[in-house]
Amino acid sequence: MDPATEPADPTAPADLAIVNCTALVGTTTPRAQFAPGATIEIRDGRLSRIDANPLEPVRAREVIDARGMVAMPGLINTHSHAAMTFLRGAAEDVAVSAWFNDYIWPMEVNVGERDVYLGTMVAAAEMIECGVTTFADHYFFMDEAARAVVDSGLRANLGSAFFSTQGDDGLADSVAFAERWSGAAGGRITTCIAPHAPYTVNDQHLRRAADEARRLGVKVHLHASEDIAQARSSITSRGLTPIQVLDETGVLDAGTIIAHGNGIVDDDIPVLARYRDRVGVTHGPKGYFKFALGPITPIAALRAAGVPVGYCTDGVASNNTMDILESMRVAAITQKQIAGDATYFNAGMALDIAGPGSAAVLGQRGALGELTVGAHADVILVDLDGFHCQPVHDVAAALVYSVQPSDVRTTIVGGRVLMRDRQLLTIEREPLLAEFRLRSKEITDRTHGRSIQDYTP
Amino acid sequence: MDPATEPADPTAPADLAIVNCTALVGTTTPRAQFAPGATIEIRDGRLSRIDANPLEPVRAREVIDARGMVAMPGLINTHSHAAMTFLRGAAEDVAVSAWFNDYIWPMEVNVGERDVYLGTMVAAAEMIECGVTTFADHYFFMDEAARAVVDSGLRANLGSAFFSTQGDDGLADSVAFAERWSGAAGGRITTCIAPHAPYTVNDQHLRRAADEARRLGVKVHLHASEDIAQARSSITSRGLTPIQVLDETGVLDAGTIIAHGNGIVDDDIPVLARYRDRVGVTHGPKGYFKFALGPITPIAALRAAGVPVGYCTDGVASNNTMDILESMRVAAITQKQIAGDATYFNAGMALDIAGPGSAAVLGQRGALGELTVGAHADVILVDLDGFHCQPVHDVAAALVYSVQPSDVRTTIVGGRVLMRDRQLLTIEREPLLAEFRLRSKEITDRTHGRSIQDYTP
């Protein structure tokens, strides 16, 4: 039996218990469900008890009293380039093509292995501090990102990004990475095959990426139909939307994390619906609005077709933060406006996308994103006692519309406490930031006149 | 000579100095201007020195070392119903008409004088904690709101709201309030005349409100053209937009704070432009999106016509927070999207609206919203050392896109420190919250079946 799924001895004391919390125990419509006075027990990295039964004694080696706090599933960032923290604020208030061609891709010429470790560690610190416990990452020098996952204690799905301009080597590296790190860090690391996008990776490489993903039992994680301009360009140049390209090349069949899908058109919905058991779309609206992308991920149509939607931050070079609470809030308010309906996308739905929705995008529904017995013990404690959350007439609304990232007091991954009462336990701040700040300055140098790629989708 | 404008003795030591900060010293286009290593001195409640001259000695009775922090003008909330904190989360995910008629106006039947003190104090605590130093408030039992301003140490422009259903008494009370409290709390309180809206206050009362405002030298602060539906309804019923009604009744001539102006149409712009020296529009986009209001305050057209625009939060029963940093961020990202231009509404412009723009809406440009010698000493210190702000390639972008409310470490109003390193100095948390929570539950009772008003604009 796989140790990860072997049931813990229920007669032994729990490794950790959280008592007196208000637990988010369900996000089914029309309202999220909370259990006040709840007890959560954790054994062998999994949730082994969740109830609000005061008569049932608590037996645990360590007990956290979470009075006045909400316990909720750790947040999931379904698409990021975590290392890009070193470019936070380096390319502001510019359109997408200038962002890529004039700033980001020239700057990324300077990025080395060590930078990816440093940048990912800074992102990890930020994520732990704002309650993100799992992130799906898509970048270069991913061995270093994996080491940051090992060291920080976070959970991650990692993919080594590649372009077809690298010849066959990029794909080969992506496959080797996915094999090398799958199941590492005690199972906290899962992997994927990570072609950059249909506009930078040719059909042959997409097809082989899909084959390799099927062989390894992992997903393909890539950018596709990021905005309507990309979709139109693809239709013009080859008569297919980017989503249809993914269908034709077998990428959807292999299972796919699609970032960002703002250019998904009506014709794409039934295509995606055929693969809804293995394909999901990731949504990070702050960056889309900053880029003035126009039409936004058709969340309502996707969910109506059963296609999972999750939240993401993308990289902070566009989104400025790794804060999924912010992605959730911006999604909630703007989806109402787009739908023209204030009753749509209520706080319960916002939390459903944060939990089961985002877990499903990663293919891990039931294991992540919900507080149920058997799920990974990824839990955050959120303090609603701040003036800015008081009074709490509606817990779900407080979490979606009022809470601040600093209200996340404690972050737990697989039963291990990574932050306790705002103190990071796995990341040492000063030496990390000192080296990171120095390299961040050097990375923005563009005097070399080179670029890692052209953005001409 | 008015003591408020009498120059302080420049040879005497300052009351307070802030040293080693990065000071936001200008927001003119195209980029905000920051002075690293700056010294700020405060005498008699005003800024008496701002420079980055290390050779000029600092002489002050108290010195705050703000190394690693940004000093910026205290934020201005140009339209709020601060007391409504007691209804935070009480009416979520509903359309405007249901929000008013089914929840808020029935609940407000229960609101008494003491509640307004409690609710305003909680709002004051939240505002001080997120760097708001001035708020323009529009509610009932405003003597109690004024007492909360006195006690909290904030600066405020206050108006006693009225409907025409109150007969002449509502207007009379609003005028008496404006006279009674003008200049109170050492000049921290200014006042206005506060008709609720053209759809709840008749032309005769609007006309008299304008006359009284002119007599007292204060503004009229009211809701008008809050959404396009209100504008259309007004055109249908009387052939005038709400803005034209304000013009005809002399309200614009008296000087006006207009909330929220989402229904301002093209024809209204030249009307408003005629009064641009005394009329401003306040913008709180989070609540508008939550209500799915459709068209949003035409900020670009208003600013092009020279009409000041400022940020607001409205009440937390719709906006959920009193956080002007959030209003600024949501405005910045959504205005780009609305304009279809990622280069529009850059971080410098976002800060310009937060500072001089919002000050101008209140008719206090030069006195508030900027760090210049002679302005009120309303200053906040913002810590950019958090992982979520690092590295700081762009200070303005960090303030607009990355910073969290909890990064505001210190809040100063008129030279008095109201929060030092996150510790509130004028508000005692526990007794306030205990009474507030109790009353908040009672206020949501709707079994009486009554309402303070009908929403049928």
Residue A126: half-sphere exposure toward Cβ, Cα within 13 Å: 36
Domain range A16-73+374-424, CATH class: mainly beta
Is B440–A391 a contact, with Cβ atoms under 8 angstroms apart? yes
**DSSP-derived secondary structure letter, A60:** B
> B10 falls in which pLDDT band (50, 70, 90)?
low
pLDDT at A3: 44
Distance from CA of A253 to the nearest CA of B (A): 34
- With CA atoms as reference, report the closest residue to A130 among A380, A392, A361: A380
Residues A377, A14 contacting (CB under 8 angstroms): no
Q: Pick A391's closest partner by Cβ from B340, B342, B436.
A: B436
- With CA atoms as reference, report the closest residue to B379 among B12, B11, B21: B21
In sequence order, the β-bridge partners of residue A413 are A416
Mutate to test the interface with B, among A393, A419, A427, A455 (most CBs of B within 10 A): A393
Residues in A touching B383 (Cβ below 8 Å): none
Residues in A touching B440 (Cβ below 8 Å): 390-391, 393
Is A333–B126 a contact, with Cβ atoms under 8 angstroms apart? no
- CA-CA distance, B291 to B98, in Å (whole number)? 11
Q: Pick B388's closest partner by Cβ from A94, A126, A387.
A: A126
Q: Pick B289's closest partner by Cβ from A337, A393, A440.
A: A337
B1 pLDDT above the threshold of 60: no
Is B441–A391 a contact, with Cβ atoms under 8 angstroms apart? yes
> B8 falls in which pLDDT band (50, 70, 90)?
low
Is B337–A292 a contact, with Cβ atoms under 8 angstroms apart? yes
Residues B132, B322 contacting (CB under 8 angstroms): yes
Residues in A touching B389 (Cβ below 8 Å): 88
- CA-CA distance, B374 to B362, in Å (whole number)? 18
Q: Per-residue pLDDT averaged across B249-259, rounded? A: 98
CA-derived radius of gyration, chain A: 21
Is A293–B330 a contact, with Cβ atoms under 8 angstroms apart? no
Number of continuous H segments (helices) and E segments (strands) in chain B: 18, 17
Residues in A touching B344 (Cβ below 8 Å): 292
- CA-CA distance, B317 to B102, in Å (whole number)? 13
Is B397–A89 a contact, with Cβ atoms under 8 angstroms apart? yes
pLDDT along chain A (457 residues), means of 10: 52 94 92 97 98 93 96 98 98 95 96 98 98 98 98 98 97 98 98 97 98 98 97 97 98 98 98 98 98 96 98 98 98 97 97 98 98 98 98 98 98 98 98 97 95 89
Average pLDDT, chain B: 96
> B3 falls in which pLDDT band (50, 70, 90)?
very low
Is B343–A93 a contact, with Cβ atoms under 8 angstroms apart? yes
Q: Per-residue pLDDT averaged across B288-306, rounded? A: 97
Distance from CA of A99 to the nearest CA of B (A): 10
**DSSP-derived secondary structure letter, A450:** -
Domain range B16-73+373-424, CATH class: mainly beta
- CA-CA distance, A231 to B158, in Å (whole number)? 52
Q: Using CB atoms within 10 Å of the CB of residue B17, give its burial: 0 to 12 exposed, 13 to 18 middle, 19+ buried.
A: buried
- DSSP H helical segments within B366-428, as ranges? 395-397
In sequence order, the β-bridge partners of residue B72 are B380
Distance from CA of A14 to the nearest CA of B (A): 33
Q: State the Cα torsion B94-B99-B101-B104 to the nearest 10°.
A: 140
- The residue of chain B with its CA nearest to that of A288 is B337
- Cα distances (angstroms) measured from residue A15 to each of A8, A350, B185: 10, 31, 56
Q: Pick A390's closest partner by Cβ from B391, B404, B436.
A: B436
- The residue of chain B with its CA nearest to that of A318 is B401
Q: Using CB atoms within 10 Å of the CB of residue B151, give its burial: 0 to 12 exposed, 13 to 18 middle, 19+ buried.
A: middle
Is A92–B440 a contact, with Cβ atoms under 8 angstroms apart? no
Domain extents for chain B?
16-73+373-424, 75-361
User: What architecture (CATH level 2) is domain A75-361?
Assistant: Alpha-Beta Barrel (3.20)
B91 pLDDT above the threshold of 80: yes
Is B321–A401 a contact, with Cβ atoms under 8 angstroms apart? yes
Q: Per-residue pLDDT averaged across B127-154, rounded? A: 98
Extract the tokens encoding A7. 């049931």
Distance from CA of A91 to the nearest CA of B (A): 9
pLDDT at B28: 85
Is B433–A390 a contact, with Cβ atoms under 8 angstroms apart? yes
Residues in A touching B102 (Cβ below 8 Å): none
